[in-house]
Structure 1
Amino acid sequence: MSKACMELAMAALGRLLPKLGSLLTDEYKLQKGVRGQIKFLQAEMESMQAALKELSQLPAHQIGHLDKLWARDLNELSYDIEDSVDTFMVRIEDAPVGAKPHSLIRRLFDRISGSHNRLIGLLTKAKTRYHVVDDIEDIKSRIHDVAARRKRYKLNDIAVQPDTTAIDPRVPALFEEAAKLVGTDGPAEKISNLLTQGTDVQKQKLMVVSIVGVGGLGKTTVANLVYERLRGQFDCRAFVSVSLKPNMKQILSSILRQVSKDTCINAGEKELDELIRSIREILNDKRYFIVIDDVWNDETWKFIRCALVGNNLGSKVIVTTRNVGVATLCSVDGAKYELDPLSDVDSKRLLCKRIFIEVAEIHSEVEEVAKKILRKCGGVPLAIITIASMLASLRNKTKYEWYCVYNSMGSGLEKDKTLESMRGILSLSYNDLPYYLKPCLLYLSMFPEDYEIPRDRLVHMWAAEGFIVEEKETNLYEIGERYFSELVNRSMIQPVGKVEYGSATACRVHDMILDLIISLSAQGNFVIISEGPQLISPKCTIRRLSLQDSQVDSNEEDSKEEQVTQPTNVNMSHVRSLIVFNGDAFQRWPPLSRFSVLRVLYLKCSLSWDIDPKDLGSLHHLRYLGLEGALEAEFLEEIGNLQLLKTLDLQDAFVRELPASIARLRQLENLILNWQGAKLPDGIENLMSLQQLGWLDALKSPNTLAELGNLTQLRVLRIRRLDSIIKVKTFLRSLSNLHNMRTLVLKYIGGRRFIDLRSIDLDCMSDQWRCPAHLQNFKTEKCVTLSRLPRWFSTLSELSCLSIKVEVLRQDDLQLLGALPLLRFLKLKVARDGITEERLVIRMDEPFRSLAEFKFKHFSRCCLVFGQGVMPRLQRLRLYFEVRKREGVGFYIGLENLTSLKHVTVKVDCFNCRIREVEDVETKIRDLIEIHPNHPTLELSRQHTNRMKQQM
């Protein structure tokens, strides 16, 4: 049991305290005595939170086992209190208050029965309030029990502490024999070139190169190789390692001793400011080379940077880090090198070297399992070396023994000391996470290995669980997206896919990180994973449950034990999240109605025929509901009962029509449908909390277009098949009321039938029409073409990302777009022959001052020219050349005026062209890149090569 329990308990208390405060408001009308009891609970919980915070800041060896048990008990207690509070709130809200009259006869009847209904409602609420008193008394008793148990068995504080001397895990990497290293020569060569190449002016500058990558990837090893290779070229040098909680005095003292070549013997006696001055004095007239290994945060680097002198003598610095943000900050005057995992070939070589001492082929008997082991290691040297140590220690090294090691990987439960050592290194990254990110990361253990987790779905689950800390005037889901990006930047999750403006659309978890978070989740009873119908102890309090397909691989030597059927009497009354990947296993579990406090439910299988719709409708605590597969509309009939539902995720489900009861979900914030859409009932305008809607199919749900204007909280809208002028105008009228709109996406105009629109005119309204002024992202997809660039785009002062296709592009359009102050990403596609001018020039009066990425595609003879001073922040440029239309057109495009350019992608259309003509165009493109002062990287590709003329 580690600090994880304490951090989880702190997070649980952080979610609970605001809820206790809300019970004291007038809304719940609690008696004075009950309010006093709740204030007592608040005070106790705040004191516990403070005590936990102090404990968590102690070194791990100073935290006693009793303290950890106490933290575990507090964690469980916090969950139970929150469940009681939520249940009370739901019961108060659900108490009957009478029905609304619908006719004269009904009104007459209600005059007679109304008093009866009100009486029933009052009695129900009174009964609910009575129950909360009992709950509070029980909770108080448990609080006293937990505190007394800790006090009863607490040993004297003068107990002997264990030896605290820790071995820095990076030290062995500095003294590793070169013969044992694999796959390091390539990165070391590239980083050496980054440090030594460039113009004469660049070579003289102080250059900082950062090496970034996940823990265990070999950053220290590579940095040390470069250091040993180049150190002789410098007057003085130093290599220092930074810890998670750095001792800046110790680090600066080490630098001072090394650059002074041990002549400064009193370095340890100096204060911080003296150390910095002494280092700067020595470095002022010397060419130096310093490696700062394993920098964790911006503040550490900024402090160390104060001691480094930019003396124009060609000094070099290498910084290694696990944090992309830190790497970007460090490498302002140099470069950022993202260290890649080992290739399959190098991974196999490293495994062989560590097991068999010398390079040898793996025996054919274990070849298959060896490939599976290496696949799980994912090219991370630390993982390969760790597993190789386990395999080397096997007595017989049989196929069966290798499979036993393989099956233990990623389970998080293996107690082997070598795995514990690796987890210790990786856990440094976990320990460095802020408190609010730790439960978010542990939640990823709910997903199977190698599973691609959509970003939006994950953020909505975090929100439903209460993991996202609210901030004033900031949308909850935007905060969650920031959490996601932070985990990517800290190399804790691997980004997958990218939307046009650079953010990852999904993520995966490296198997070794997954092993770590499964281990931590098990320690804190955070998640229980069930693969198949294995027995789970009825004594276990299940908070989060993931039913996964069995990942265990076996062979003919494995013993096949009879599986135990899951008992139906396991207590599901505490489960907050249920994610089902294995439908067969789910059928052996209790019905959904037994999951009484469920907040998150995701069923990755077609289960509608096995689940009673009434069971689904009984989940009154549900905040997130995600379904996958073909669904019948009847399955969702009871969904209107889920009054706390925030997200209905049907992105991977196929449902033709949503039930009318969905209009009762007044707290629904996200309605996410398959890209084909579904027929929506009338009354969607009643979803006053809705923030995200998509895909809305205007052909299936034409009435919803007019209702959109009442959804004033809407921030994200994805809409398809605006297939008539009438629908476009109806949509625009609604759009003018959506002042909170941030993202708007339009998909193709029509289906297979004949449509009366070739393109969409979004400039068809009167001058009084007002656009959503806070729009940040606008995108057209799947053959949607705008007949012209809307003039109202000029008022979008917050527009950051724009991806559109237009029929016609004029010089005035570029001037309009170039004036947008915050535009960072622009993808501009022009329909065939949609440019009439021979030259489009981007001038200083349309500078695109914030643009970082620009993709431009057109099919005319027009030449796009970049003037001086434009696009000062542009780093990535993508262009399209149609060779047969370049004849007689000059190739000067002013590329050298893009002063921040780092990467250029060019696609060459070879349709109906000779090979010589294509090669000539490619040569001219390379020449443009060659003369650019930044020497940006070039990615050159061809299109329609099968339609190219074979003659030279």
Structure 2
Amino acid sequence: MKPLGSHASAELFFSIVCGSEHRCPDQLKEVSYRFIGKCGGLPLATICIAGLLASQTDNSELWHHLQKCLCSNLSTSPTLEEMLKEVLNLSYSCLPHYLKTCLLYLAMYPEGFTMWKVDLLKQWISEGFITAKEEKEVEEIADSYFYELVNKGMIQPEQINHNDEVLSCTLHHTVRDLIMYKSKEENFITSIDYSKAITGNSNMVRRLSLHFSSAKYATKPSGVILSQSRSLFFFGLLRCLPSDVEFKLLRVLILDFWGNQYGHTSLNLTRICSLVHLRYLKISCDIIVELPAQMRGLQYMETLEINARLSAVPLDIIHLPSLLHLSLRDETNLPDGIGRIRSLRTLQYFDLGNNTEDNVLSLGGLMNLQYLHLTYSTVQSDEHLKRNMVALASSVIKLVNLKSVILAPGALSTAIYHDVLSSVYSPPVFLQGLQKLDLLPPICMFSSFPKDIGAVRKLCYLNLVVRELRRNDIDSITGLPALTVLSLYVRQPPAESIIFNNGAFPALKYFKYMCGVLCLAFQEGALPNVHRLKLGFNARKGQQYDVLLAGIQHLVNLKKIDGIIGAAEGAEEPDRSAAESAFKDTIHKHSRFPSYVNVKRVDWVEEENEPRTEVNSSSSKCHEILQEQRGVNETEEDTKQFADSGVTNQIMQMSPQHMDLCAADTKLTMPSNNRMSFPEKLHDNIAAEAVSFSCTTSSGSSPKSSSAPSSHHSLPETYTWDPEGSPWSRALSPPTPRNTSAPQSAMHPMLSPEDHISRAEGTWSTAYFHPLPLPPSAISQVKATLSNQPAPKVEMSLVAGQWEKRKLIGSGTFGDVYEATNRHTGALCAVKAISIPNDSRSAESLKQLDQEIKLLSQFKHENIVQYYGSETIEGHLYIYMEYVHLGSINKYIQQHCGAITESIVGNFTHHILRGLAFLHGQNIMHRDIKGANMLIDGNGVVKLADFGTAKHCYYVIQSNFCKRMGTPIVARQA
């Protein structure tokens, strides 16, 4: 980063120390400018020094002492890096001991990792770093420590919500280097990275962090004594997980492993009860986790968070006396009597579809509950839903400490268009501590606006869907003093304008309004602090737009406006253009928006008086809410720039109560010249014989496999964390680098721009599809396999018996994949053969397969592997799919005889994005995007495969949006 100028540096320094320069005491101005000069214009150094001095403006003697210390430790002509290191060292030395301890603990995470505040606070508390003082609870004290470190510049905020709450943070690499050095010096943390040297002492380990990433082999460091270890963070391969036999004092255990586990399909943690001091357990993985049948031995357990499929939830979990936070994956069946966990403060998720009425009623016993996340993922009868909603109403009224309620359909739920909520339940006026109320369709749609919400005076976040909104309905909540985020979805267009009066919503910063007709009016003094609007409506055939947003110029602090324009029945392209033009003309009346307005076109903004089918209605609604969940929270940088930023976050699990919505709308940015490079020469035989359907299996291939992936066991293999032994007997060896210096050839020519990519109204031209350079070993295979093969046209009703299974082409976690020939046409397909076991451990695996079938059957897109059908024969499930000959991108790169050029990477990327755009348009999240799940056909078309972890979302709940799926370690290293 370019250093700041002297004026900008001074402005930054004084803004932190005392607000502005004119408020700085005169006796401190001279020494202030000395500090500013020593920081060399480096923002981090300036922030750290200013944060150190901010609370000491009445102690000029300390200021001069620190200035002398800084000068004495710097050379005559220090480099910027030396300046920064010395400033950070001085800042660290001046931290109180309790902040040093909390800061050093961040070294447990891998470099570049995004850390969620909610996780850090729980870990600090579990480690015993936080001591309660007077009437303050430990959570409040831990929160204050976190913000002290933020204000002193030692940790950097990443996501900030509209309440100015920091949701996630990271470490500057120089700060991390410092705390890694200090950790080693004080034997605070031992960090082992398979690709780097050990950081920390190799004898008595107090806290152990293991980063094995995707390393195939690992060796246990010699001389490591783990008996005194209090924390274990493990990132990487399951088989490298150490034994728990030595972890007698363990308090915090974090296990994070994704991707290829080389045959392991489950993790056996049945011996975890031997860790009697365990307080914090967090597991994130894409295999089944087996917990012990009884867990009541873990008497000190405070946090149990498992982002993985569970074979079963122990029935005696309700008897854990210290449990504060319970977070399990949605659709997990909780045991009856959950209300007996009196200590519980966080419950995520509780499924109203899977639980009995008695268990819903038992929620009323959770008197300390603060954060409740409810779902409805299983479609039961209307009567079942109504009974549970009545039971929920009677339970929630007892939860006097409740701060956040999220009630939404599960990701696999079918839309239910019954106004059940309004008929049995109105918002609890007695829940005066409630700060977040997130009620989403389809089961959370009110007939009319619930006016009692206006009595919940501490409400900060409100998300509602109403069928009808009358002109003055909104007046009941305009006086809420703390409301900063408001999202309203109105299904029936109102008969008259919705007017926001003078003084309405004094604290509101973000307002979203989705309705088929846009007709809002803002009086002077309304929404004085709103800085972002997101407005959606439908264009109508032949409509003239007079007033869309009357008085928008009165929103004096408005910084960003997003428009979403759909099309009502019968509306055509000229109608869309007219609506967009009218919308922009209205916005341009505001002095802050003379030219640019972000407008996005969608198929339809849902409204009930339109003759749409249920499928289309669900799709449109999901699309709106998906976009909203991406768009509400803004990062600090986004707020400053007043524009969307294409931010790619590491997807990770977090509790919903601390995450409102995600940072910024994701935009696909095209190259400025809107062109792509294409090969000047392509192999004639490949170009002549390439056809559109060729495809093979992808999943599970080992990096060293050739034509077929490495074999897996036919039955699922379970990894047991066994105290009797540990699988630490493998030599460490990094992956072999591929050749990137091979000369050009006919197969790998120089690439030049020959054609365009166009994107009009959300569609892509197919001009960029072309044969990619192929490895020599693939040429003959393409000729032999693809020549004269007709494209398969499969009737779903005629699947049974029409395919003849041939050679084995791969093996995966759930079964083997074969090449198959159509008996009638001779066309090829890939058939996945899975044995159907009859045991409880495999139930989740079969559920995942069923999920994949359901999703694949809905897709028809050239960048998605085509599903032909499935059948069950004699205890085996057969899934028929498009045959993609060349296999995965992983295989392509391994067999490539030369460098993979930037243009080829660009082509891959555009194909992948096109497939993802289609999925997201259908409200599907793939959640496992990696090279092994991207297949290439003979035309060079990339196709997405393996939808076992995908989800169909009618909305995006915060925790799922921020849940790590697939192989996130790849993203962290990219």
Taking structure 2 as the reference length, the TM-score comes to 0.51
User: Corresponding residue for 1:799?
Assistant: 459
- Matched with 2:229 is 575
Offset from partner CA, 1:785-844 (integer Å, 9 cap, x none): 42233333122111111122222222343111212222122122223xx23222111123
| CA distance in 2 between partners of 1:594 and 1:473 (Å) | 38
Alignment of 1:112-191 (within 5 A): none
Higher RCO, 1 vs 2 (CA within 8 Å, ≥6 residues apart): 2
Instruction: Choose the corresponding residue for 1:252, options 29, 32, 36.
Output: 29
Residue correspondence of structure 1 range 747-896 to structure 2 within 5 A? 747-748=408-409, 751=412, 757-762=417-422, 764-765=424-425, 771-781=430-440, 783-787=442-446, 788-831=448-491, 834-844=492-502, 847-860=504-517, 862-884=518-540, 887-896=544-553
1:461 and 1:677, CA in 2 relative to 1: closer, same or farther beyond 3 A?
farther
Q: Which amino acid aligns with 2:445?
A: L
- Confirm or deny: 8 A CA contact 2:14 2:50 kept in the other structure: no
TM-aligned CA deviation for residue 592 of structure 1? 1.2
- From 210, 216, 221, the equivalent of 1:566 is 221
Shift of 1:417: 10
Query: What secondary structure sits across from 1:506 in the alignment?
Result: strand
Matching of residue 941 in structure 1 with residue 599 in structure 2: yes
Alpha-carbon deviations, 1:565-604, whole Å to 9, x = none?
A: 434x6322211110111335744x4x31321111100111
Amino acid at match of 1:223: A
CA distance in 2, matches of 1:570, 1:782: 54
Tell me how far apart the structure 1 counterparts of residues 580 and 443 of structure 2 sit (CA, whole Å): 31
- Assess if the C-alpha contact under 8 Å between 2:184 and 2:199 holds in 1: no
In the alignment, which of 78, 92, 116 is matched to residue 454 of structure 1?
116
User: SS where residue 572 of structure 1 aligns?
Assistant: coil
Separation (CA, whole Å) in 1 of partners of 2:173 and 2:239: 24
Which string of whole-angstrom CA distances, capped at 9 and with x for unpartnered residues, describes residues 12-54 of structure 1? xxxxxxxxxxxxxxxxxxxxxxxxxxxxxxxxxxxxxxxxxxx
Counterpart contact for 2:160–2:166, Cα < 8 Å: yes
Structure 1 pair 937–507 and aligned structure 2 pair: CA distance change class (3 A):
farther
Is residue 619 of structure 1 aligned with residue 275 of structure 2?
A: yes
- 1:428 positional shift: 5.0
| Pair 1:739-2:390 in alignment | no
Q: Secondary structure at the match of 2:257?
A: coil
Letter of the structure 2 residue corresponding to residue 872 of structure 1: P
For 2:554, the equivalent position in structure 1 comes to 897
Matched residues in 2 for 1:510 and 1:642: separation?
37
AA aligned opposite 1:856: Y
CA displacement, residues 615-639 of structure 1 (integer Å, 9 cap, x when unaligned): 4101111110111225657523242
Offset from partner CA, 1:399-429 (integer Å, 9 cap, x none):
xxxxxxxxxxxxxxxxx99966542244455
Question: For residue 107 of structure 1, what is the aligned residue in structure 2?
Answer: none
Secondary structure in structure 1 of the residue aligned to 2:228: coil
Output the CA distance in 1 between the equivalents of 2:235 and 2:48.
39
2:852 is matched with which residue? none
Match of 2:308 in 1: 653
What is the SS of the residue equivalent to 2:438? strand
Choose which of 669, 682, 700 in structure 1 pairs with 2:324: 669
Distance between the aligned counterparts of 1:836 and 1:777, measured in 2? 26
Partner Cα distance (1:649, 1:504) in 2: 21
Please identify, of 699-708 and 737-746, the stretch whose mean Cα deviation from structure 2 is larger: 699-708
| Partner of residue 444, structure 1 | 106
- Give the one of 245, 248, 253 matched to 1:601: 253
Partner deviation per Cα, 1:701-753 (whole Å, 9 max, x = no partner)? 22421110001000000000186111111011000100000011112168456
Provide Cα deviations, 1:255-280, integer angstroms capped at 9, x if missing partner. 999xxxxxxxxxxxxxxxxxxxxxxx
For residue 295 of structure 2, give the secondary structure of its aligned residue in structure 1: helix
CA distance in 2, matches of 1:517, 1:537: 11
* CA distance in 1 between partners of 2:109 and 2:48 (Å): 30
DSSP-derived class of the 1:906 partner: strand
Query: 2:274 matched to 1:635?
Result: no
The answer to whether the Cα contact below 8 Å between 1:743 and 1:778 also exists between their aligned partners in 2 is yes
Distance 1:531 1:493, change over 3 A: same
> Where does structure 1 lack aligned partners over 5 or more consecutive residues?
1-182, 185-217, 228-237, 258-291, 306-385, 390-415, 554-561
**What amino acid sits opposite 1:726 in the alignment?**
R
**Displacement, 1:944?**
3.3
Q: State how far apart, in whole Å, the 1-side matches of 2:15 and 2:267 are.
A: 60
C-alpha change, 1:544 and 1:771, in structure 2 (3 Å) is same
Flag structure 2 segments of 5+ consecutive residues without an equivalent: 35-44, 59-73, 604-758, 764-974
Cα distance change, pair 638–530 in 1 and its aligned pair in 2 (3 A) = farther
Aligned to 1:932: 590
> Which letter does structure 2 place at the counterpart of 1:577?
S
Counterparts of 1:582 and 1:856 in 2: how far apart (Å)? 44
Equivalent-residue separation in structure 2 for 1:645 and 1:241 (angstroms): 40
Q: Cα–Cα, structure 1 residues 752 and 743, in superposed 2: closer, same or farther, change >3 Å?
A: closer
Per-residue CA deviations over 1:84-136 (Å, capped at 9, x if unaligned) read xxxxxxxxxxxxxxxxxxxxxxxxxxxxxxxxxxxxxxxxxxxxxxxxxxxxx
Larger Rg: 1
Shift of 1:513: 2.8
**In 2, Cα distance between equivalents of 1:808 and 1:241:** 48
SS of 1:815's equivalent in the other structure is: helix
Q: Does 1:219 align with 2:1?
A: no
Q: Map of 1:212-291 to 2, 5 A cutoff?
A: 218-220=3-5, 223=8, 251-253=28-30
Q: Counterpart of 1:462 in 2: which secondary structure?
A: helix
Alpha-carbon contact 1:532-1:585 (below 8 Å) kept:
no
State the alpha-carbon separation in 2 of the partners of residues 784 and 714 from structure 1.
23
Superposition deviation, residue 691 in structure 1: 0.2
The AA in structure 1 aligned to 2:405 is L
CA contact under 8 A between 1:633 and 1:659: conserved in structure 2?
A: no
- Alignment match, 2:244: 592
Whether contact under 8 Å (1:828, 1:855) holds in the other structure is: yes
Q: Classify the secondary structure of the residue corresponding to 1:818.
A: coil
Distance 1:622 1:296, change over 3 A: same
- How far the C-alpha of 1:467 sits from its partner, in A, is 2.9
Inter-partner Cα distance in structure 2 for 1:299 and 1:448: 27
Which aligned pairs between 1:461-610 and structure 2 lie closer than 5 A? 461-471=123-133, 474-477=136-139, 479-481=141-143, 483-484=145-146, 487-488=149-150, 491-496=153-158, 503-532=165-194, 540-549=203-212, 565-567=220-222, 570-583=224-237, 586-587=240-241, 589=242, 591-605=243-257
Partners of 1:633 and 1:658 within 8 A in 2: no
Find the residue that maps to 1:442 and give its secondary structure. helix
User: Partner amino acid for 1:446?
Assistant: M
Residues 226/509 of structure 1: CA separation in 2 closer, same or farther (3 Å cut)? closer
- Assess if the C-alpha contact under 8 Å between 2:194 and 2:215 holds in 1: no
Kept after mapping to 1: 8 A contact 2:17/2:51: no
User: CA offsets, 1:309-329, max 9 Å, x none?
Assistant: xxxxxxxxxxxxxxxxxxxxx
Q: Is the 8 A contact 1:879 1:907 kept in 2?
A: yes
Question: CA offsets, 1:743-766, max 9 Å, x none?
Answer: 1111216845685x5344246259
C-alpha RMSD of the superposition: 4.7
1:684 pairs, out of 307, 320, 338, with 338
Structure 2 distance, partners of 1:302, 1:902, is 32
Q: Secondary structure at the match of 1:641?
A: coil
Change (3 A) 1:304 1:432: closer
Partner of 1:698: 352
Match of 1:639, SS? Answer: coil
The structural deviation recorded for 1:919 is 5.7
Structure 2 vs 1, CA of residues 815 and 611 (structure 1 numbering), >3 Å: closer, same or farther? closer
